[in-house]
């Protein structure tokens, strides 16, 4: 039993060192579809990897395996990045730790379609977070209930449940277009925040994106 416990402790050693995110590296999302969840500062993640393995390029590095664009709905397009993370322990390099990230390339906004010139950079950052998560980086944010026996009751009660990839809550109200009856879906604004179905409907005068554009084209008061 003692031997087994020791082995478990050894396996989790890196995970335990990387799991905690300082408060200054966390930001609570206050609005939109992701309201109530936590955004983690990208530079803190790089600092955590550097602290554990050494400078990027000599202690760890990420190799871009593939970058591509996919067509989305309503004229939107998404950029994706496949990444392989390598890190050094002693004199040996690890096997690749894979992750996929994504970001909007062409997004549908109130003023029309918006093209992002930073989509691959953001997809890369997203992919790196997925890779890093696999070795324990920021684990406490992704898995709030994974408390250890060393946590105090105060620390446990002070935690707020977080999820890795939150989707719209089932209780969220879904508006429908007053003209065509189609569901009005949440969408990402230019500042990166997600607007709920209700917020999108309000911004478009109760119309879906397609009907709103058509109305504007014919100078209809919406």
DSSP string, 62-128: EEEEEEEEEE-GGG-EEEEEEEEEEEEETTEEPPPEEEEEEEEEEEEETTEEEE-TTHHHHHHHHHH
CATH 3.30.390.80 spans which residues of the chain?
2-167
Which one is predicted more confidently, 162 or 179? 179
Task: Write down the mean pLDDT value for the chain.
Answer: 79
CATH topology (fold) of 2-167: Enolase-like; domain 1 (3.30.390)
Question: What is residue 157's predicted lDDT score, i.e. its pLDDT?
Answer: 39
Q: Which of 16-30, 91-105, 140-154 has the lowest mean pLDDT?
A: 140-154
Which one is predicted more confidently, 7 or 179? 7
Model-level pTM? 0.62
Q: How remote is the C-alpha of 164 from its chain's centroid?
A: 7
Residues in the chain: 222
Q: Which of 4-18, 42-56, 59-73, 183-197 has the lowest mean pLDDT?
A: 183-197
Which one is predicted more confidently, 147 or 115? 115
Contact 14, 135 (CB under 8 A): yes
Average pLDDT over residues 118-122: 93
Q: How far apart are CA 202 and CA 195, in angstroms?
A: 10
94 pLDDT band, cuts 50/70/90, is: very high
């Amino acid at each position: 039993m003692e031997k087994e416990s020791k082995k478990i402790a050894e396996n989790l050693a890196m995970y335990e060192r990387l799991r905690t995110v300082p408060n200054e590296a966390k930001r609570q999302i206050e609005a939109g579809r992701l309201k109530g969840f936590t955004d983690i500062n990208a530079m803190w993640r790089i600092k955590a990897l550097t602290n554990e393995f050494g400078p990027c390029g000599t202690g760890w590095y990420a190799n871009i395996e593939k970058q591509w664009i996919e067509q989305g709905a309503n004229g939107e397009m998404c950029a994706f990045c496949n990444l392989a993370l390598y890190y050094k322990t002693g004199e040996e390099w690890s096997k690749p730790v894979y992750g996929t990230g994504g970001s909007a390339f062409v997004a549908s906004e109130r003023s029309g379609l918006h093209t992002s010139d930073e989509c691959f950079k953001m997809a890369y950052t997203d992919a790196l977070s997925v890779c890093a998560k696999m070795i324990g980086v920021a684990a406490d944010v992704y898995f709030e209930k994974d408390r250890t026996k060393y946590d105090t009751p105060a620390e446990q009660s002070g935690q707020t449940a977080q999820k890795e990839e939150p989707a719209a809550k089932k209780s969220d109200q879904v508006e429908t277009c007053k003209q065509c009856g189609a569901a009005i879906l949440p969408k990402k604004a230019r500042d990166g925040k997600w607007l709920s179905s209700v917020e999108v409907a309000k911004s478009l005068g109760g119309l879906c994106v397609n009907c709103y554009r058509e109305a504007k084209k014919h100078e209809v008061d919406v």
